[in-house]
């Protein structure tokens, strides 16, 4: 396989960002499931919402913990300084945001940024954070307010190194009976 230079990949990342977003989501689910499999955890559910209005991209259930996860991603070295988070994510019992930092050439995950609380606890309060605006302005050059979204700076996220540390944030310490199918 030929490795393409970053100069050639930049248009690919820009023009096909929705495709890349889905690809990163599938890679993320695969990494989570692979790690749990290697820990002997085999009873895990990964669910996708039919409609994108609940503030989350996927649900992962492991044992008694059910996580509603909003996924964000950016490549290592990008200038992304903030993310827009939906208020409805805070309605979920264990809502969280996982911001994936990946290598722009290989899409290999480099690290994660975490915003959430312990398993079973809701998302920290985001209601007082700045209200998000649309990226594009209307004909009067006004960017409309998006009242259900809040802006979180990178500094609000905790850097997490590796899938093992992220699984710990998501589900807590795994024990031998977590995620096992009943006999």
Mean pLDDT, residues 137-166 taken together:
92
Answer whether residue 1 is part of any domain: no
Q: Which helix (H) or strand (E) holds 25?
A: helix 17-38
Answer whether residue 180 is part of any domain: no
State the DSSP string of 65-118: EEEEEEEEEEETT----EEEEEGGGGGSTT-EEEEEEE-TTT--EEEEEEE--S
| Structural domain harbouring 43 | 6-171
The structure's pTM equals 0.86
Answer whether residue 40 is part of any domain: yes
Range of weakest confidence among 19-33, 42-56, 149-163, 168-182: 168-182
pLDDT per residue as tens digits for the range 101-151: 999 989 999 999 999 999 999 999 999 998 998 888 888 888 888 999 999
Phi, psi at 70, each rounded to 5°: -100, 120
Number of domains the chain contains? 1
């Amino acid at each position: 396989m030929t490795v393409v230079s970053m100069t050639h990949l930049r248009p690919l990342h820009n023009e096909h960002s929705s495709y890349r977003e889905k690809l990163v989501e599938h890679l993320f689910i695969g990494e989570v499931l692979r790690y749990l499999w290697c820990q002997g955890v085999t009873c895990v559910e990964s669910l996708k919402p039919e409609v994108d209005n609940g503030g989350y991209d996927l649900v992962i259930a492991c044992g008694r913990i059910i996580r509603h996860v909003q996924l964000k991603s950016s490549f290592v070295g990008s200038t992304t300084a903030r993310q827009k988070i939906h208020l409805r994510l805070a309605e979920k019992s264990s809502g969280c945001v996982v911001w994936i930092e990946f290598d722009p050439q290989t899409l290999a995950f480099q690290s994660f940024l975490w915003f959430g609380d312990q398993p079973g606890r809701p998302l920290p309060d985001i209601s007082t954070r700045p209200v998000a605006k649309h990226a594009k302005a209307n004909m009067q050059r006004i960017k409309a307010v998006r009242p259900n979204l809040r802006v979180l700076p990178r500094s609000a996220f905790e850097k997490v190194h590796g899938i093992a540390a992220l699984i710990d944030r998501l589900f807590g310490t795994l024990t031998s009976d977590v995620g096992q199918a009943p006999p």
